Chain A
Amino acid sequence: MMKRLIRAELKKLKRQKMVFVGYLSILFSFIITFAQQMRIKAGVPEWEGLAEMFFYNNAMLFLPFTISLIGGYMIDQEYARDTLKNLLAIPVRWQDVIKAKAAVLFLLMIRVALFEMVLLLSAGIILRNCPAVLMMAGVCMKALAYNICITLTILPVILWFGKNGGKYIWGSILSMLVGVSGVFVVNGRAAYWHPVTACFSFLSDIYGDKSVLGYMKSGAAIFLYGLLCMLVYWIRYCRENKAVISK
């Protein structure tokens, strides 16, 4: 059943303008990063520096908002378009639909990561100063890891606000604020536990504690965010499921 639900969720994204908003925000992030690098490096940006700053900008400014917007929209629209009743009358359990939506959101973020890789590789070709292929591949894989980590840590916000009829926008704004707040904690102790900087120990070249303790703390934080996802999912979609049906 889960396979069918995921297939259905993927189909629902066809011609979905909200997905294009996601790609546009990443493109916008890339343009800003490129402009920043041009300014810092006096017109000759380095590829590694560009990639690192691109990931930083994405994590702090663009990804949390974009992921939350797309994920919240995917859940909210089942209420707004009144399609939920069609699914429940099949019958499909709403909590299973949510699981499928979360899985599709991760898949979508993988696709966005591929787009980020394409942008970085294009920049490498344009700048003509790209490093060895293996190193480039490693950096590109970081895009994938960043997107998956940030999707996981933002998921509790999506799950919480997606259900509140049209309030997913507030969830997106909250996610954006969470992302921006990362700027203030990135060099401090709270960086291990902050939703967007938790993965920096593993992924960032500049930020994050690269000691064993640092990796453990960051790993524990990501694990706790995973547990938080499950808790919010249980509260909002399993425990309150009867309340939804009784409306």
Chain B
Amino acid sequence: MENFVIETKGLTKCYGDTAVVKGVDIHVKKGEIYALLGRNGAGKTTIMKMLLGLSKITKGTVHMFGQPFVGNKKEFLGRIGVMIETPGFYPNLTATENLEILSDLRGYIKRDAIKESLGKVGLPYKDKKLFSEFSLGMKQRLGIAAAIIHDPEILILDEPVNGLDPIGVMETRDFIRELSQDYGKTILLSSHILSEIELLADRIGIIDKGILLEESPYEELKKRNMHYILVSADPTETVIHMLEEEFHIKDYRIMGNGCIQIFDTEIQTKEIVKFLAERNIYVDAINICRDTLEDYFKRITGGEGIA
């Protein structure tokens, strides 16, 4: 059995009769970057809040560091850094003053922790600018600084690049990668920016309407599902029937424009062409295609794109 630092079993959240998170099983390994991918309202933030005890779990269990996450929350939360939704701070205080409050309440912060965490996110220490004067990107940076101030083992970041400018996005991405690679931090993040997830995540969990549709390492996901053969030939129903019989393909999808997506990429395209030609079916086009994560997301959620 693998050791997971975060593990949920059948995690469910209901508001009245409406279930917003349904039986989610998440498995986050130590040191990896796990990305929860889903549209707005898919249940990502609710899952994160339940993991932290900020939202009551209707059903299911959470294990953190191999132990059930109940009762003595301080023991766990002291090892976790959090940034949930838009960072909330006191507008009448500076970044340093805001962090001083949080570090004082945590009580066991090393001396230069505030300076270091602000430095890591590119915000000046002891600056006189008040939080109310911060841009959205600066607020986001301060949120990350607050999450890392106590040198946590796990970081839970909800939409960490939301509102950042392109340079800020790049810096945050590098920084998150550095935390994982150089400092061995485990990072659970959520995002709807697919390009960021493609560049960051070691493992992806795709969530839609509160259901975790898929959870697998990103590399495996790429190999397994985002690679397919696109065949254009008429009549589609006959073609697919013949291919099923001959090549035993099971994982395919008939597209609206008369094309067929075959996800079993072990089959040689020339064999398909030859086989169909011998049966007087002429192939208009055949290609080996590579989906983007967005295409794959659309396919698996059976709907529109993520944005």
Contact = CB atoms under 8 A, between A and B. Distances in A.
Interface of A: 1, 4-5, 7-8, 11-12, 14-17, 77, 81-92, 242, 245-247
A242 B56 contact: yes
A7 B97 CA distance: 12
B97 A89 contact: no
A16 B92 contact: yes
B90 to A, nearest CB: 6
A92 B101 CA distance: 12
Nearest to A83: B88
Interface string B66-102: 0000000110010010101110111111000100111
A246 B105 contact: no
B77 A14 contact: no
A91 B89 CA distance: 16
Contacts, number: 74
Contacts of A92: 105
Given A8-B105, A91-B73, A91-B77, A86 B93 contact: no
A88 B80 CA distance: 12
**Highest count of chain B CB atoms <10 Å: which of A81, A89, A246:** A89
30 contacts: A4-B104, A4-B105, A5-B105, A11-B93, A11-B97, A11-B100, A11-B101, A12-B90, A12-B92, A15-B92, A15-B93, A15-B130, A17-B92, A81-B90, A82-B86, A83-B88, A83-B89, A83-B90, A85-B54, A85-B82, A86-B82, A86-B102, A87-B105, A89-B82, A90-B102, A91-B73, A242-B56, A245-B53, A246-B55, A247-B55
Nearest to A97: B105
Q: Which 3 A-B pairs have the closest CB atoms?
A: A82-B88, A246-B56, A15-B92
B84 A89 contact: yes
B146 A86 contact: yes
B89 A81 contact: yes
A87 B105 CA distance: 8
Contacts of A11: 93, 97, 100-101
A12 B88 CA distance: 13
Interface in B186-214: none
**Highest count of chain B CB atoms <10 Å: which of A5, A87, A88:** A88
Contacts of A12: 90, 92-93, 101
